[in-house]
């Protein structure tokens, strides 16, 4: 059951911006920012865990902390969700990505268990389901990574004239790389300008970096 409350747009301070950007065929924009994942990377290697799952866990914590990142357009109305869950792509042995879903949980062990079970259940698939993305849910972040390339910018495919889908933030990161003794990665977050301005998007990157820097406080060892 998706838990959310509807926003009264008549008194919403973003009413005019929402109405303006909602007229665009593509109201989305994104930022690609260099992130320092040294602490997260070192801790994950020491624990012999999945960097993908641990990174996704801290990303989801940071994303959920920013209210604007939990806004969605549902049946033409603005909805503020209590919690947003991760939806992510997993490479199968067929060389084709499969879409996976698991629940957000602030407890690292439980988040890790749920994501690991979902990934293990899908990566060895011998047949990809007919519907590429059959989820009707909007309480999700769409998450993927391109670990083969260190990119400076990227764009996401977006459905035409589908404000509900466009209201879901897209998240993608690239290949890890070294800068001196630091481990870095480029992180892209793409959002709908109808719901998210540059300030909350900037706050999101800063919050995620805070979680990366303090990974030892949030990832159970």
What is the tally of structural domains in the chain? 1
pLDDT digits (tens, 9 = 90+) for 169-199: 999 999 999 999 999 999 999 999 999 999 9
Q: pTM here?
A: 0.94
Q: Give pLDDT, residue 1.
A: 58
Q: Give pLDDT, residue 135.
A: 58
Q: Which of 208, 217, 220 is nearest to 58 (CA)?
A: 208
In a domain, 160, yes or no: yes
In a domain, 102, yes or no: yes
For position 77, which CATH number holds? Answer: 3.30.559.10
pLDDT at 97 over 70: yes
For all residues of the chain together, what is the average pLDDT? 93
In a domain, 3, yes or no: no
Residue 180: count other Cβ atoms within 10 Å of its Cβ.
7
pLDDT digits (tens, 9 = 90+) for 105-147: 999 999 999 999 999 988 887 666 555 555 567 899 999 999 9
In a domain, 1, yes or no: no
CB-based contacts of 179, cutoff 8 Å, min separation 6: none
Q: Give pLDDT, residue 131.
A: 56
Domain of residue 75, residue span = 12-218
Q: Give pLDDT, residue 125.
A: 73
Burial annotation 67-100 (CB, 10 A radius, 16+ → b, else e): ebbbbbbbeeebbebeebbbbbbbebeeeeebbb
pLDDT digits (tens, 9 = 90+) for 37-55: 999 999 999 999 999 999 9
In a domain, 100, yes or no: yes
pLDDT band at 91 (very low <50, low <70, confident <90, very high): confident
Percent of the chain with pLDDT over 90: 82
């Amino acid at each position: 059951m998706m838990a959310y409350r509807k926003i009264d747009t008549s008194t919403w301070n973003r009413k005019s911006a929402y109405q303006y950007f909602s007229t665009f065929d593509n109201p989305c924009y994104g930022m690609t920012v260099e992130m320092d994942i040294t602490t997260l990377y070192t801790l994950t290697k020491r624990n012999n865990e999945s960097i993908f799952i641990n990174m996704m866990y801290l990303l989801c914590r940071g994303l959920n902390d920013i209210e604007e990142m939990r806004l969605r357009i549902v049946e033409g109305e603005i909805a503020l969700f209590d919690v947003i869950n991760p939806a992510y792509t997993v490479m199968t042995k067929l060389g084709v990505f499969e879409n996976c879903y698991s629940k957000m949980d602030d407890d690292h062990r439980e988040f890790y268990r749920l994501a690991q079970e979902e990934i293990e259940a899908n990566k060895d698939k011998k047949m990809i389901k007919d519907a590429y993305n059959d989820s009707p849910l909007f309480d999700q972040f769409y998450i993927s990574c391109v670990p083969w390339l260190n990119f400076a910018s990227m764009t996401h495919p977006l459905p035409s004239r589908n404000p509900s889908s466009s209201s879901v933030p897209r998240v993608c990161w690239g290949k890890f790389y070294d800068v001196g003794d630091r481990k870095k990665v480029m992180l892209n977050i793409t959002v709908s300008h109808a719901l998210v301005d540059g300030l909350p998007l900037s706050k999101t990157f800063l919050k995620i970096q805070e979680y990366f820097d303090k990974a030892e406080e949030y990832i159970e060892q």
